[in-house]
């Protein structure tokens, strides 16, 4: 058996384009997931029982079902309710909702890792709950949740390969298309893997740099 890595070199421009789509899907999903996750995480620790219950139900439901099923529900299920979404938008929404649940738990864990005495001291100084959360608790929690956030971003980027099932031409889907044309599966999948590695490594370095900056600013 011989390997023709020239096929991989010829495929690099197409794989690069697929990687840019992966970055776009992941970036938008992270942005949506951050918004949902911060709201869900804050709701998990808020004094209001109803908010805590709704947030807990959302997080448990999303974390307890596969991302692939969630993608299918958004893309194939919503049309039954009269809502037809573009595959790209459906993928971003499904991944954002999924990521929001995990980010919500990260935020909750970060907030609860701060000593309870910090909140009590802030309230005794006359700060409202919102003011104490904004100025005292969240700044301390941010330093603690950043590594976990980085891991979530990396996991989401790799999980973005699942949107290839709804015909989004991201990196994995692009690799599949190239293989059907060249029949060079080993070489092309090596290339796909290397692109994923480069992207995840870049994210990990950015997260580590951010951690150092935060430590220096303390």
Structure tokens at 10: 């010829």
pTM, entire model: 0.89
Q: Is residue 56 part of a domain?
A: yes
Structurally, how many domains does the chain consist of? 1
pLDDT of residue 58: 96
Give me the domain span that covers residue 175. Answer: 6-217
Q: Is residue 154 part of a domain?
A: yes
* 120 — pLDDT class (breaks 50, 70, 90): confident
Q: Which residue has the tokens 């023709």?
A: 4
State the DSSP string of 73-131. Answer: IIIIIGGGGT----HHHHHHHHHHHHHHHHHHHHHHHHHHHS-HHHHHHHHHTT--HHH
pLDDT of residue 64: 95
**Chain segment 167-187, per-residue pLDDT in tens:** 898 999 999 999 999 888 999
pLDDT of residue 124: 82
Average pLDDT, the chain: 90
Higher pLDDT, 145 or 192: 192
CATH number at residue 124: 1.10.3720.10
Q: Is residue 1 part of a domain?
A: no
pLDDT of residue 48: 87
Say how far residue 36 (Cα) sits from the centre of its chain. Answer: 11
Q: How far apart are CA 158 and CA 40, in angstroms?
A: 23
State the DSSP string of the chain. Answer: ----THHHHHHHHHHHHHHHHHHHHHHHHHHHHHHHHHHHHHHHHSS-HHHHHHHHHHHHHHHTS-HHHHHHIIIIIGGGGT----HHHHHHHHHHHHHHHHHHHHHHHHHHHS-HHHHHHHHHTT--HHHHIIIIIHHHHHHHHHHHHHHHHHHHHHHGGGGGGGT--SHHHHHHHHHHHH--HHHHHHHHHHHHHHHHHHHHHHHHHHHHHHHHH-
Q: Is residue 137 part of a domain?
A: yes
pLDDT of residue 218: 55
**Chain segment 41-80, per-residue pLDDT in tens:** 999 988 889 999 999 999 999 999 999 999 999 999 999 8
């Amino acid at each position: 058996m011989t390997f023709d890595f020239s096929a991989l070199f010829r495929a690099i421009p197409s794989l690069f384009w697929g990687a840019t789509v992966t970055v776009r899907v992941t970036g938008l999903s992270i942005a949506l997931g951050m918004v949902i996750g911060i709201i869900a995480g804050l709701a998990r620790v808020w004094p209001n029982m109803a908010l805590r219950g709704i947030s807990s139900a959302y997080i448990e439901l999303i974390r307890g079902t596969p991302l692939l099923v969630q993608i299918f529900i958004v893309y194939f299920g919503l049309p039954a309710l009269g809502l037809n979404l573009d595959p790209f938008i459906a993928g971003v929404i499904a991944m954002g909702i999924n990521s929001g649940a995990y980010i919500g738990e990260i935020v909750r864990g970060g907030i609860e890792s701060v000593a309870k005495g910090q909140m009590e001291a802030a309230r005794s100084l006359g700060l409202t709950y919102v003011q104490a959360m904004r100025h005292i608790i969240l700044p301390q929690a941010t330093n603690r949740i950043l590594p976990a956030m980085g891991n979530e971003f990396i996991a989401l980027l790799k999980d973005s390969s699942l949107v290839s099932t709804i015909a989004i031409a991201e990196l994995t889907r692009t690799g599949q298309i190239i293989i059907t044309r060249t029949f060079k599966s080993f070489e092309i999948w090596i290339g796909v893997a290397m692109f994923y590695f480069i992207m995840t490594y870049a994210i990990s370095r950015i997260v580590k740099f951010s951690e150092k900056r935060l430590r220096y600013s303390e």
